[in-house]
Amino acid sequence: MSVPKTPHPNHSEVAAGPLAFLILGILSLLWGSSFILMKRILPVFPPLELATLRIGMAGLAMIPLWLWHMKREHWRLLPWFAVVGLVGNGIPALLFATAQTGIDSGAAGVLNALTPMFTLVVGWAFFGKNTQKSQLLGLCLGLVGAVLLILSQHRIQSASNPNLALLLVLATFFYGISVNTVGHRLKGITPWLTASLPLVIASIPALLALWWWGDPVTPMQQEGAWNALYLLFFLSLVNSAFSLVAFNYLIQLAGPLFASTTTYMMPVVALLWAYWDGETLNAYHLTGLLAIVGGITLVNKRHKG
């Protein structure tokens, strides 16, 4: 998926070895590259086809992992797994694909980093989590960064509809709901199941929507269709399915604090790809990035006592 889930707080922190740093680097590169991949796929596959094929293929790939870890007592939690699957995977995939028809990939990658801040908002508003003043300051700082990035799209002629950036803000809000659902309703469940079952569930409506409303055949008649399809396979199976399993393994290997570092590195990777691809970057991008990363730092700041 486009963003890592907030790790479970009960995992203890351990010293990170070379393997942990290697996985961290690979995950940051993969997740930060998702936005340039979608940019390359969208000229061939429209947003509905891109999102439904992405989730559908990822869910099908996760079936063996789900069957291996599913136990009888887990069925009672099926509604919460469904919330994570639909709100945390299916709907955001469609929102991101739609938004990137009108905004640049670099801005999309940085806006994706708003997830920790909306995780704080949802946790405070609906799950009774305590909030520190520094976290509220971080939230405000992150929102300022989001506004700057939206303004950056208004100053770029290639951004055909910069208001679509608001769809990305909505997607990160949905991610915040999903993260809190995992942390409060699926606490203690093996991370392999929380990685696989939601994707399996989300793949069902995704494939039904593709069959009912989509048209995956016509795009394949366009020039460059096979290259776009290969990229879509990579985005689905590697960036969505495999990466989620690797992220859960990283949590077990080095702890949640180390694993959450991907949140800081993903937007940097996205902007580097944007620069390589010739996208227009301006002071709004850099200032927005610094504001959001600063906001994440304050939101994740540990408090004594």
Each residue of 142-190: pLDDT tens digit? 888 888 887 777 666 555 677 888 999 999 999 989 988 988 898 888 8
pLDDT band at 6 (very low <50, low <70, confident <90, very high): very low
Most confident of 11-20, 127-136, 141-150, 251-260: 141-150
> What residues contact 278, with CB distance under 8 A and at least 6 apart?
none
Q: What is the 3-state secondary structure (H, E, C) of the chain?
A: CCCCCCCCCCCCCCCCCHHHHHHHHHHHHHHHCHHHHHHHHCCCCCHHHHHHHHHHHHHHHHHHHHHHHCCHHHHHHHHHHHHHHHHHHHHHHHHHHHHCCCCCHHHHHHHHHHHHHHHHHHHHHHCCCCCCHHHHHHHHHHHHHHHHHHHHHHCCCCCCCHHHHHHHHHHHHHHHHHHHHHHHHCCCCCHHHHHHHHHHHHHHHHHHHHHHCCCCCHHHHCCCHHHHHHHHHHHHHHHHHHHHHHHHHHHHHHCHHHHCCHHHHHHHHHHHHHHHCCCCCCHHHHHHHHHHHHHHHHHCCCCCC
Angle at 94 between CA 89 and CA 98, to 5 degrees: 150
Task: State what percent of residues in the chain have pLDDT above 90.
Answer: 49
Statement: residue 261 has pLDDT above 90? no
Contact call for residues 80 and 181 (beta carbons, < 8 A): yes
pLDDT of residue 302: 60
For 194-228, the pLDDT digits (tens) are 999 999 999 999 999 999 999 999 999 999 999 99
Torsion of CA 266, 268, 269, 274, to 10 degrees: 130
For 263-273, the pLDDT digits (tens) are 888 899 999 99
pTM score of the predicted model: 0.87
Q: How far apart are CA 64 and CA 154, in angstroms?
A: 45
Statement: residue 8 has pLDDT above 50? no
Which of residues 228 and 294 earns the better pLDDT score? 228
Describe the crossing of helices 18-32 and 34-41 by its angle, rounded to 10 degrees.
Answer: 30
pLDDT of residue 173: 94
- The residues spanned by each domain of the chain are 18-299
Please, what is the average pLDDT of the chain?
87
Using the structure block, give the residue that is written with the tokens 């906001």.
Answer: 295
pLDDT of residue 31: 94
Q: How far apart are CA 25 and CA 289, in angstroms?
A: 19
pLDDT of residue 165: 86
Least confident among 70-79, 126-135, 251-260? 251-260
Q: Which two tokens stand for residue 232?
A: 């879509």
For 85-126, the pLDDT digits (tens) are 999 999 999 999 999 998 889 889 988 888 888 888 888 888
